[in-house]
């Protein structure tokens, strides 16, 4: 019998490679087929780990197969990836069990003729795991190709992306960033003051065996250091939101008092929406929008759970004229982007994105900003944010917006909120978090103000 966790991981990886689902959705679907929590955890680890190490795994498969993975059947590739990952990363698992399951999984996938090939290749990897043919860390940087081989293959990122980062930041920063992306992300919470203050949340979770430490930058953020959130009997689920620390900081760009009338244009899944609602003291009116039915459903659940009663949901497309006759004190555009800043959390993005995507994404982002600008009141604030690492989606979009909208001026993010640490504001006054500097995912934010008298809060 094939280990259930390996079958589930295989199904998830096949769905991701076929682009039928992103990793988080594929893993959630695979986990639902497993009864044992240990199997769920193992399937998640395998599927996520394979996506983090896919560049390295594909290199090794290609070397030992003497042909690139593109010339192998997709089903065989996924069996080899997940099995090679376990051989290299799960040292306590007997190699024979991994290889036997791989052979049986290959047959189960209808590729019986490849069973011998899979068996031989995996046994070769197992024998040579202490002397793998991978690019070493360079000691000199005069050979650009060798540097990029190490960064892209050994540290498992697309070559086009590491070339951009290397040219922009140099070797040390790029290496640190890639290692950051390849490490598991901690579970990070944001206390929801509508329900419960942060110190009370930490105290109550401690009684449930969950140990928290305060986040470094986010005022309401906590890192889970020990314990399982599934053990929170008696804790209101709406007392906290699972949200990355850098993402939590974006909501602070709206200010300590965002205003009486606030618009969140790309709101799902709702973390920033509910943070804005709390900053508004659950008063006034906060309109939260998204375009797809599924995203609206997720947003509705988040808002309902957290008890944010000042939120109204409107299904709307930010790439079109927004359906509002009144103007808002603050408008947030947390724009859909490449996601290249959150490769630690969503490692599959690195393989789904291509450099040419940046052109269409930045064009859509500029379009959203143009429509959002029409909804900003005189003296009101417009916040633009992404979880991208790339200038085309960040500084370039902000500069293009200002060039086409002389009625707006830039606001230094340091002047926006007392709660926003100066350490996450760059020399241009933009909000920016970087893995090799802050230990956080890469987020960007720019704040603009429409000329005129600022609205009273």
Asked if residue 386 lies in contact with residue 394, where contact means CB atoms within 8 angstroms, the answer is yes
* Angle at 319 (CA atoms; ends 317, 325), nearest 5 degrees: 65
330 is catalytic: no
Catalytic pick from 266, 289, 337, 387?
Answer: 387
Q: Return the number of other C-beta atoms located less than 10 Å from residue 298's C-beta.
A: 16
286: left (phi over 0), alpha (psi -120 to 50) or beta: beta
For 291, phi then psi, to 5°, come to -105, -35
Asked if residue 330 lies in contact with residue 255, where contact means CB atoms within 8 angstroms, the answer is yes
For the record, the structure tokens of 452 come out as 């005129």
Burial class of residue 374 in the structure, from the number of CB atoms within 10 Å of its CB (0-12 exposed, 13-18 middle, 19+ buried):
exposed
Q: Give the whole-angstrom CA distance, residue 217 versus residue 47.
A: 30
Neighbouring residues of 117: CB distance < 8 A, sequence distance ≥ 6: 65, 76
Among 46, 91, 74, 81, CA closest to 60:
81
Give the catalytic positions in this structure.
387
């Amino acid at each position: 019998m094939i280990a259930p966790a390996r079958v589930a991981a295989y199904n998830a990886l096949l769905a991701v490679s076929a682009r039928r689902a992103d990793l988080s959705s594929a893993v959630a679907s695979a986990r639902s087929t497993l009864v044992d929590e240990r199997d769920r955890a193992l399937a998640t680890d395998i599927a996520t780990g394979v996506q983090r190490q896919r560049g390295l795994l594909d290199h090794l498969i290609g070397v030992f197969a003497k042909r690139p993975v593109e010339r192998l059947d997709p089903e065989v590739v996924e069996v080899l990836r997940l099995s090679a990952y376990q051989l290299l990363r799960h040292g306590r698992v007997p190699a024979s069990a991994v290889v036997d399951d791989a052979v049986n999984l290959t047959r189960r996938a209808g590729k019986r003729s490849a069973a011998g090939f899979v068996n031989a290749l995996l046994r070769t990897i197992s024998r040579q795991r202490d002397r793998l043919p991978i690019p070493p860390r360079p000691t000199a940087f005069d050979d650009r190709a060798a540097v990029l081989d190490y960064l892209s293959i050994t540290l498992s990122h697309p070559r086009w992306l590491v070339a951009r980062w290397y040219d922009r930041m140099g070797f040390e920063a790029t290496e640190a960033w890639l290692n950051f992306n390849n490490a598991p992300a901690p579970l990070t919470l944001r206390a929801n003051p509508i329900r419960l203050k942060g110190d009370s949340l930490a105290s109550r979770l401690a009684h449930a065996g969950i140990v928290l430490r305060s986040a470094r930058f986010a005022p309401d953020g906590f890192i889970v250091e020990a314990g399982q959130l599934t053990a929170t009997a008696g804790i209101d689920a709406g007392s906290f939101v699972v949200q990355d620390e850098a993402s939590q900081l974006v909501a602070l760009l709206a200010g300590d008092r965002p205003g009486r009338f606030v618009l969140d244009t790309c709101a799902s899944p709702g973390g920033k929406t509910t943070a804005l609602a709390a900053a508004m003291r659950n008063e006034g009116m906060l309109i939260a929008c998204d375009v797809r039915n599924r995203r609206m459903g997720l947003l509705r659940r988040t808002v309902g759970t957290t008890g944010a009663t000042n939120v109204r949901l409107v299904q709307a497309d930010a790439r079109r004229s927004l359906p509002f006759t009144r103007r808002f004190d603050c408008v947030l555009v947390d724009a859909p982007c490449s996601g290249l800043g959150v490769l630690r959390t969503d490692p599959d993005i690195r393989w789904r994105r291509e450099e040419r995507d940046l052109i269409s994404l930045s064009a859509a982002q500029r379009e959203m900003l143009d429509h959002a600008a029409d909804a900003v009141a005189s003296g009101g604030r417009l916040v633009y944010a992404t979880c991208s690492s790339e200038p085309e989606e960040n500084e370039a979009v902000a500069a293009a917006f200002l060039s086409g909208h002389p009625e707006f001026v830039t606001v230094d993010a340091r002047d926006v909120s007392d709660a926003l640490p100066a350490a996450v504001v760059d020399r241009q006054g933009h909000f920016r978090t970087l893995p090799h500097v802050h230990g956080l995912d890469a987020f960007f934010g720019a704040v603009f103000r429409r000329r005129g008298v600022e609205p009273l809060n």
